[in-house]
Structure 1
Amino acid sequence: MFARFDSRTQDSGNVSFGVEAGGRRWFVKSAGDPQDRSPFLSHAARVALLENAQALARSVRSPALPALAGTARSAWGPMLVYEWAAGELVHAPAERRDDPASAFRRFRSLPPAQATAAIDAILEAHVELCGAGWIAGDFYDGSILYDFEARRLHLIDLDSYHRGPTVNEMGRMFGSTRFMAPEEFERGAAIDERTTVFNLGRAMAEYLGDGGLERAGFRGADDQHAAMVRACAASPGERFATVAELARAWRGEAAAEP
């Protein structure tokens, strides 16, 4: 074991490990100690999320998603064994987002061509995910792992994604306000692929722009800006109906206007 990820780095209750075996590196994720009552989610709820992550990994293959090699049983419940993905977690707490040494600031400062390639990878992975029926849940920069040397992006911790549309039963759902759609704050609102479209539009604004929707702060092309603005429409009916439509408009293959 060369790494351990626990309450010192995150508060989910999960405990994960970097393990070297057979000349290769692996990422092993568990639901953590069943006796630990400090996390917000119960151990049973954490196990359910891991089982959900297992179903997602088995249903979708994408270069941006670390491959699931297998699952082992343990006293802590299932342990998911993924191929190791090199890189740095892009997320940074608010007080560190202006730190030029942070992965967040370096990712946000990538040259436009590299930033576009990273967003392309996020989009293409979500085209596959949504094509298999998955809707984003709690997507934010804590889901993004980026290797600055190899210029390669991976998406991790998609445990809260869910199959098919659902209804917001919480009011304010889990997630970062920088990425969340209006319906993720409204009890009884529909959560569907248009919600994922909004989440991805916000990623475009964060990483190829300055976090806003104005053209002056956006470093991409005009058609990309138009696609981002439509994706971030407050009303779901004004957004792209699918992530595939958003991806085509982003690539300039279709008009961004409805």
Structure 2
Amino acid sequence: MHANGRQDDARGEMVVLERLRAGHRSPPFFEHDWEKCRLMQQSLIFCVLRCEMSVHMKNGSLGKTGGQEFMQAMAAIVRGINALNAVIGRVVSWLALGIVIACFTVVVQRYLFGVSYLWLRDLYIWLNGAMFTGVAGFALARGDHVRVDIFYRPASVRRKAIIDLFGVLVFILPFMAIVVVYSWPFVTRSWSYWEGSSNVGGMPGLFILKSFIIVFAMLVTLQGIAMALRAILVLADREYLLPEQLRYPPNVAAELQTPGETGHEGTL
């Protein structure tokens, strides 16, 4: 009986090997074992991935790299816009010297020599308009525009960021869009025939001066975007990505209220 059993097992193994060599499907018990191994392998992989995700979520590192890169890109945009407006503002501010020289020349010619040139009178007026429209974005970056500091000056840094973000989205950007839309036909018409001064013997090139309206709107819009991005960085606790000169100044009012300390009001 034992010999017959061993012979039957040998025949069964030979049949299985022959079927495998012939390309037949595996026996049912082979398929069942392979399916169990595959399911166990998938379960092990899933458990490992789940453990890694839980560790990353616990450490706060899941998505942290992408968010940090996005915040760094925002900070780079803020630095770039401020640098652009700083260069333009410092260059255009030198027009003030030309305004003083032109105005002084007009006064001397009129009251000492009794002569006057209309183009020279146009010159200092046009330089004045070009200067004030060209430095508008730089002045906004420095906080030199008129501000009613009833709530803003004593506010905390986060509250200042909220006020700036609201002001940019509700006032600056819509108003600058209106300026561009309504001034664009006015400027393009001036360029179409190279408009000059309406005074006989006045300055040519009035179309260039009118183009400063668009320049004004674009520079203020860019600076408004930089203000909004800076506010977002503050609200996201990423203000440290900005250099010191671009951050919100400390709350001077709170420092003045601190007992035993003497402070001075800075320019906010």
Larger relative strand fraction: 1
Same fold per TM (> 0.5)?
no
TM-score range, shorter chain: under 0.3
Select the structure with the greater relative contact order (CA < 8 A; seq sep ≥ 6). 2
* TM-score using structure 2 length: 0.23
Larger relative helix fraction: 2
Please identify the structure whose Cα radius of gyration is greater. 2
